[in-house]
Amino acid sequence: MSTIHTFDTWFIRFAKQNYSWIARWSLFIIYFYFGALKIFGASPANELAIGFAERMGFGSVANELYLLLAAVECAIGLLLLFPKMTRLALFIMFGHMLLVSAPLLLYPEAVWVMPLVPNLEGQYIIKNAALVALALGLVANTPPLAKK
């Protein structure tokens, strides 16, 4: 067997054996860290999120909703660390993704330079597709619920 084939076989086995914990910790770091940045007022997404809330008619409670979003992000991150909480975490996560992706359609002046050319905030939102794919991989590795 060639060295390349041996390495390839080893790496595939490594990925299969370690995917779940690597995915969980990666999602935890992203969700918890980004949520914490929002809580401490240090997120570069502050203006976009507050502007979107105001645009949607929630200006009077925009800051409170923003902090709620931050707390939900931290909670998603924490829940993902526990395999038994995967379903709940991913249910909340997919709802969260719908909300945070909405500016692509509902607040285009904040995320697009021109059609099909996102600014940095737009790219920040679009990269969430990779997080969804990572989460779907967790679902694929989650055993089905036991029949009752």
pLDDT value at residue 32: 98
pLDDT value at residue 148: 77
Angle (CA) 30-76-95 rounded to 5° is 105
Percentage of the residues of the chain whose pLDDT score is greater than 90: 89
Query: pLDDT tens-digit profile of 81-112?
Result: 999 999 999 999 999 999 999 999 999 999 99
Mean of the per-residue pLDDT values for the chain? 94
d(CA 98, CA 137): 19
d(CA 110, CA 131): 22
20 three-class SS: helix
